[in-house]
Copies of this chain bind each other. A is one copy, B any other.
Amino acid sequence: MNTAHKWLNEVKWDEQGLVPAIAQDAESGEVLMFAWMNREALERTAESGEAVYWSRSRRKLWFKGEESGHVQRVREIRVDCDADVVLLKIEQVGGIACHTGRRSCFFHKLLDDGRWEAVEPVLKDPKEIYR
């Protein structure tokens, strides 16, 4: 174990070797997306300065923006009090974090009448993003 990576050992990885990761716009504070990281994803995020996640469905590293170009430049990496959740303060290149073409993935709002409504605009057609 590389002792230079003591900080990675201090993260409490779950039984699958993962931690939840929240990406937040460093300027506006907007929560843009939620994903998972394994040890390598977090290490590469810190080293490269661009967000790398672990895709649970594809079972491989997910270099955010690898297809869309919408990479996330990392300004700050934080963990919570239990060291089992990561918060990234990022600059979202292209202004679009969501695969639906919206700024944030959290665009469904619960209305008083008990319906989820999409309250954020699509900034770019996903067909244009993922050619």
Which residues of the other chain, B, contact A110 by a CB distance below 8 angstroms? 7, 46, 76-79
Choose from B7, B22, B76, B109 the contact partner of A34 (Cβ within 8 Å).
B22
* A80 within 8 Å of B (CB atoms): yes
Interface residues on A, range: 35 or more
How distant is the Cα of A110 from the Cα of B76 in the complex, in angstroms? Answer: 7
Interface: A59 (CB within 8 A): no
Residues of B within 8 A of A116 (CB): 7, 10, 79, 83
Known interface pairs A7-B115, A114-B5, A115-B7; A80-B33 also in contact (CB < 8 Å): yes
A87 shortest CB reach to chain B, Å: 5
Taking CB atoms and an 8 Å cut-off, the chain A residues in 27-57 that contact chain B are 28-31, 33-34, 46
Query: In the complex, given contacts A79-B110, A81-B100, A81-B102, what are 4 additional A-B residue pairs having Cβ atoms less than 8 angstroms apart?
Result: A7-B114, A22-B31, A81-B105, A85-B105
> Which residues of A come within 8 Å of B, CB atoms?
4-7, 10, 20, 22, 24, 28-31, 33-34, 46, 76-83, 85, 87, 98-100, 102, 105-110, 114-116
